Amino acid sequence: VMFPLARYALNRLKTQSIRQVVARQGHQKPSSDFHDKYGNMMLISGATFCLLGYMIYMTQMGVEWNLSPVGRVTPKEWKDK
């Protein structure tokens, strides 16, 4: 149960904030910002840079994939002290 005065104040705040948002959106200029102009190009160039760096690292550093140590690693003889 909400008091009539509190309910009126809450409704008044809601409608006032909605009006402010609508007014703000109406005053925005239609020019594009940095993200609209360069966003996709920055994303593509960043992804390309990371991918090329990763590939250079993988090829130049001699990383070997999925090699099993079975048959290559032999246990050493146990030495008692």
Q: What's the start-to-end Cα distance of the chain, in Å?
A: 84
Q: What is the pLDDT of residues 32-66, one digit of tens each?
A: 788 888 899 999 999 999 999 998 888 887 766 66
Domain ranges of the chain: 4-60
Q: What sign has the CA pseudo-torsion 73, 77, 80, 81?
A: negative
pLDDT of residue 21: 73
Distance CA 80, CA 27 (A): 85
Distance CA 19, CA 11 (A): 12
Model confidence at 75, pLDDT cuts 50, 70, 90, reads confident
The tokens describing 49, both together, are 């840079």
Distance CA 38, CA 33 (A): 9
Distance CA 64, CA 61 (A): 9
